[in-house]
Structure 1
Amino acid sequence: MASSNFPTLIYLHYWAGAGHAWQGVADALGSDYSSLAPNLGGFGGAPAPTGGYTLDAYANAIAAYIKEQRLTHYVLVGHSMGGKFALTLAARQPVGLVGVALLSPSPPTAEPMTEQDRQESLKAYGKPAEAEKTFQTITARPQPPAIKEQIINDNLRSSKGAWDAWLLHGSRENIAARMCDVQVPCAILAGDQDQIMSPSVHGLETLPLLPDDTPLEIIGGAGHLLPYDAPEEVAALLRDFVSRLPLR
């Protein structure tokens, strides 16, 4: 039974991932912390969000999910693409939101990606060999065979609509002007071996747009997929973050 003193953690996964990516973090946190990890539209077998694949459509879907769960006290924990969704929703100042934790987040500005990388990613859709290459790029620590298979299968299970929409539109959407409306405590976690977005990206593109006391925590030896590469470290940092949040 989770303690009523702790808010529910709403985990929002990375692009081409699924909700079960958070299992290691949830296990490391233990039963005192209640959590939910939905599959986001177009990933993990979930249907497309109503209204398409825009940031606001995803934020609407997440808000509706929270309402369905009847949550009144929660933290958004967004990873990569999920981080940008978390910020989109947080800027609306929804009732019950008490904090936002961002893991290797896609920045509120257009995500730094060369046109060559974008085109290569578009062409990689549905190709097992490319999914294997992506796995090698986004992880830095050794993964058990079952976890490697899970990461690759999640990549291949993504819908083409969601895949293309993020690369062509979502990752490019600029919501920087909305960030002044994010009024809850925030934290950023990053891996120093991240080949997708280095900690400097977060320091330059995201941190200046968040509340002044927002920390940027660096996890040594971890790559882009922090929930898989560093579940224990992520759990410890989340535990500390949640412990500092005001009870509402």
Structure 2
Amino acid sequence: MPDSLTFIGLHYWAGSGREFQQVAALLAPAYSFLAPDLSGFGESVPPVGGGYSIDAYADQIASIIAEKQVGRYVLVGHSMGGKIALALAARQPAGLVGVALLTPSPPTPEPMTDEERMASMRSYGKLAEAEKTFQKITVRPLPEDIHQQILKDNMQTTRLAWDAWLLHASREDISARMCNVLVPCTIVAGDQDDVMSPSVHGLETLPLLPTGTPLEIIGGTGHLLPYEAPEEVAQLLRAFAQRL
């Protein structure tokens, strides 16, 4: 269908494309949903030459879009994936009609203290730490298979991708490019998000996006919106797509 719309999900740091499975199922068959594993995460292969910068990830997504010959699409960026989605949107690629940001990492350097950064570096590859992170970033109770999936994704992340985000990509400042993001955008946040509170989006991201971009809050949720609130996320994405 030439007028059909595809959602392209960009996952969070230490996650994988599998986080979008429930949302994708709820949007089918009206919309197709692509959710690749970003380099260094999930089942991905190591990047060819490009490394783990925000632009290298944007290149990876652009080449997947070209390879799959995707027509009209909306980028759905969650957390780390939000920053990557904005970098790609600033290039004004053909076919892009909208950007939905789920509790995104801002275009400015992510607000993270050196202490938090070092603690995250030290927690790499430790199951007990992955469990601690899970408890911190989720609010709604999740089924055990989802819980295990989140831990597995954390443990599968490569050291290079883990450190590259903490030391470099999360600190990148792409805010000057945001004037080039011209498609409609929406931001969705969890009201109890311990990692990226709604106020961060209101201060760091919203002012840089097209005028009139809404900030939607999902009550009783933490940072992992596609897992914690798949119905609400799917509903918001459907409503967003229908406005485009």
User: What is the TM-score of this pair, normalised by structure 2?
Assistant: 0.98
Aligned to 1:194, what secondary structure does the other structure show? coil
Ranges in structure 2 where 5+ consecutive residues have no aligned partner = none
> Are 1:57 and 2:56 counterparts?
yes
Question: 1:5 deviation in Å?
Answer: 4.0
Q: Which residue number in structure 2 is paired with residue 138 of structure 1? A: 137
Residue type at the aligned position of 1:195: D
User: Percent identity at matched positions?
Assistant: 66
| Aligned counterparts, 1:82-231, within 5 A | 82-231=81-230
Structure 1 contact 48–162 (Cα < 8 Å) conserved: no
Hey, what's the Cα distance between the residues in 2 that align with 1:185 and 1:110?
23
Q: Residues of 2 paired with 1:5 and 1:33: CA distance?
A: 11
Instruction: Give me the whole-angstrom Cα distance separating, in 2, the residues matched to 1:41 and 1:47.
Output: 6
Aligned AA (2:101): L
Inter-CA distance 5–47: structure 2 relative to 1 (3 Å threshold): same
The answer to whether the 8 A contact 1:6-1:242 is kept is no
The answer as to whether partners of 2:134 and 2:151 remain within 8 angstroms in 1 is yes
Quick one: which of 28, 31, 42 aligns to 2:29? 31
Deviation at 1:23, TM superposition (A): 0.7
Q: Could you list the structure 1 runs, at least 4 aligned residues long, displaced by more than 6 angstroms after superposition.
A: none
Q: Aligned-pair distance for 1:4? A: 5.2
CA-atom RMSD in angstroms: 0.9
> SS at the partner of 2:101?
strand
Q: What is the TM-score normalised by the length of structure 1?
A: 0.96
Please give the alpha-carbon distance, in whole angstroms, between the structure 2 residues aligned to 1:134 and 1:31: 34
1:190 is paired with a residue of what secondary structure? strand
> What corresponds to 2:42 in structure 1?
44
Secondary structure in 2 aligned to 1:101? strand
Aligned residue for 2:216, secondary structure, equals: strand
- Structure 1 residue runs of 5 or longer lacking an equivalent are none
TM-superposed CA distance for 1:47, in Å, is: 2.0
Matched residues, number: 243
